[in-house]
Chain A
Amino acid sequence: MRALILAGVAAASLTLSSPLMAAGDVPHPPSVNWSFNGLFGTYDRGALQRGFQVYTEVCASCHALELLSYRNLRAIGFSEDRVKEIAAEVEVTDGPDDEGEMFERPGRPSDRFVSPFPNSQAARASNGGALPPDLSLMTKARKDGINYLNALLVGFADPPADKEIAEGMNYNPYFPGGQIAMAPPLSEDVVEYADKTKATVAQMASDVTTFLAWAAEPELEERKRMGVKVVLFLIVLTGLLYAIKRRVWADLH
């Protein structure tokens, strides 16, 4: 009977995995060995800062990052003064003032990231009807989101001969349906990295993916650090409890 159950579970799990791959004939994004994978993973600070530069200079013209504040950038290794400078580069609408008027002022670290469009209608109007999604949670909001995002950014290509691409759309095998409204955002040297890293498409894609993974899960490093301690403690505690249980029960057996 045991063997039958095992066979059943094995068969179920095998068949479970196959339809997932067949769904919508979207290829699995290749798995990248990210610095923040694994039990002890941490975000590569260089990649985070380069990724922030790519976001600011390329993505931010269409994609908002509503859940982040400029003050959060301290966590990716910018100094307090640098964060103040970064925030001051944007204009924030504030008010009303004493006359009841709204006014513009330079951003402060406590401000949320300023969105490129005032509302989703304006965003659609500027993007041929397509809505560029907010990126704050993008890597959590897609299946295998981190690898997916990276694959999507390098995945633009000429469509295969039998693939019909609609007006204003671009071929990208990793996007559901194979066509995406976003034009290829990255091209060689579209940014000039402050740290002189060569700005290849793959490099920028990997950097901005790291940055957005951090944006979605800023707690990841603290979570894993704490997790190692908590789980190690619990393993020792459980071992001790087992020893006590054995001693207590010894007189019964």
Chain B
Amino acid sequence: MPQPWMNNKLVQWIDYRLPMFTFMDKELLEYPTPRNLNYWWNFGSLAGIVLVIMIATGIVLAMHYTPHVDHAFASVERIMRDVNYGWLLRYVHMNGGSAFFMIVYIHIFRGLYYGSYQAPRELLWILGIMILLAMMAAAFMGYVLPWGQMSYWAATVITNLFSAIPLIGDWIVTWLWGGFAVDNPTLNRFYSLHYLMPFVIVGLVALHLVALHQHGSSNPIGIDAKGPQDKISFHPYYTYKDLFGLGVFLVIFFGFVFFGPNFFGEPENYIAANPLSTPPHIVPEWYFLPYYAILRSATFDIWFIPAKLIGVVLMFGSILILFLVPWLDRSKVRSARYRPIHRQFFWLLFIDCLVLGWIGANAPEGWYVLIGQIATAYYFLHFILVLPLVSMIEKPKPVPTSISEPVLKGGGPQTAAPARSMEDR
């Protein structure tokens, strides 16, 4: 259905030469979307909006920040104290990082629950995992920039992981540092790469969207649309649903920004970096805690392989294994709604990740070590063994024959309700 503004002469002149209006109309307004998406489908667009917020605040912060070991900490405090609304910019950026991960983790668990990664959306899923990896790199390097105690020691611990690589490990670490310790060259390159990463993410998000629009969104019952009665136009239905979700998110987000801006942070990072004083507990931000637990779960050498290398391989493996999920899941049914056994194990995996996060926050002593090892073992077993086996053995419950059937209750094909704008009523 052509939009009224497509009749504008200027719009038509431009569109004839550069079809941006046709593109917008097709991909943002008309874009046919399953009519039965629930609120878990809000988190994709929400993540995109948070990415824009992060880039906007980050660009302004970069105007005031000084990437030098002698000035970085003080320049951040200058932003907090002397730059107009600098505290607001920094707190939005700081809490935006946490919000971004929270949203993306929900988005990923939604994909796992509803089988969104299944054919033909394998590449869409893989691009999503690549976005997660790029986000992790950006978040880690960004956390180093304020050059507080936790910044410095996180940079030291994480870069040191590469020394576990056999033979060339130490050489790689020196190359990463640009010297023989975490120092000014390290801070400078982290700043440069932290500014680069968001644009890599934007590129990956663009591909993620191209792949999404190829076959359209998956949906809670996980069957393909049978015809136009199963789909509605993105605008106005999902634009307003997403805007409402955005409103709810912003209320919570700004609640943290204005009333508990350091809730997710470590007090230790308000102490300037000091290479001569190691903090009693080096802990990453909450969104890295599960990986940290996996890293530290390797406490023993296996044959000639040192524990450190095992830990590093497991930690990176915990993300890389997600790339294989579309092929590990052998089920013909996407949605966990109709996969009773699979669904139980999904929640077990969810709890397992929470447990890993909790273990990551605590010092690796006593029972924490064993619990962390069991949780790590289950994490990998889930993907390597449970997911393929259950999907092969399990007999799924009957799946609805069409999307519109359970939604419209009456059953039988119906013509889709025309997308009406507010002025029509």
Contacts and interface: CB of A to CB of B under 8 A. Distances in A.
Interface of A: 1, 4-5, 8-9, 12, 15-16, 19, 39, 67, 72, 133, 136-137, 140-143, 145, 176, 216, 218-219, 223-224, 226-228, 230-231, 234-235, 237-238, 241-242, 244-245, 247-249, 251-252
B251 A234 contact: yes
B257 interface: yes
B240 A141 contact: no
A251 B420 contact: yes
Contacts of A143: 267
Interface stretch (B46-54, B74-82, B310-318, B384-392): B74-82
Contacts of B350: 5
Nearest to B74: A67
A238 B271 contact: no
B30 interface: no
Interface stretch (B101-109, B137-145, B242-250): B242-250
Interface stretch (B18-26, B55-63, B192-200, B355-363): B355-363
A245 B240 contact: yes
Interface in B191-245: 232, 236-237, 240-241, 243-244
Given A140-B270, A141-B270, A227-B257, A252 B35 contact: yes
B251 A218 contact: no
B278 interface: no
B420 A238 contact: no
A1 B237 contact: no
B362 to A, nearest CB: 6
A252 B233 CA distance: 12
Nearest to A16: B358
B100 interface: no
Contacts, number: 107
18 contacts: A19-B362, A67-B74, A137-B270, A137-B271, A140-B262, A140-B270, A142-B267, A218-B81, A219-B80, A219-B81, A223-B91, A223-B261, A228-B258, A235-B251, A238-B244, A241-B240, A248-B237, A252-B407
A251 B417 contact: yes
B420 A223 contact: no
B380 interface: no
B81 A67 contact: yes
Contact of B354 (A8, A219, A237): A8
B87 A219 contact: yes
B270 A224 contact: no
A72 B81 CA distance: 9
Contacts of A176: 280
Contacts of B258: 223-224, 226-228, 230-231
Contact of A234 (B81, B247, B268): B247
B60 to A, nearest CB: 16
B248 A12 contact: no
Nearest to A215: B81
Interface size class of chain B, counting residues whose CB lies under 8 Å from the partner chain: 35 or more
A220 B132 CA distance: 34
Contacts of A231: 251, 254-255, 258
B243 to A, nearest CB: 5
Interface string B333-359: 000000000011001001100110010
Nearest to B261: A223
Contacts of B237: 248-249, 252
A5 B351 contact: yes
Contacts of A4: 347
Given A16-B358, A143-B267, A224-B259, A252 B251 contact: no
Nearest to A218: B81
Identify the 8 closest CB pairs spanning chains A and B, nearest first: A227-B258, A238-B247, A141-B270, A241-B244, A219-B87, A140-B270, A245-B240, A137-B270
B351 A8 contact: yes
B422 interface: yes
A72 B82 CA distance: 10
A218 B88 CA distance: 13
Nearest to A241: B244
B247 A237 contact: yes
Given A137-B77, A145-B267, A252-B232, A5 B244 contact: no
Contact of B250 (A5, A15, A19, A234): A234
Contacts of A133: 271
Given A140-B270, A142-B267, A238-B247, A12 B240 contact: no
A249 B268 contact: no
Interface centre among B91, B344, B347 (most CB of A within 10 A): B347
Contact of B241 (A39, A145, A245): A245
Given A8-B351, A227-B257, A238-B248, A249 B241 contact: yes
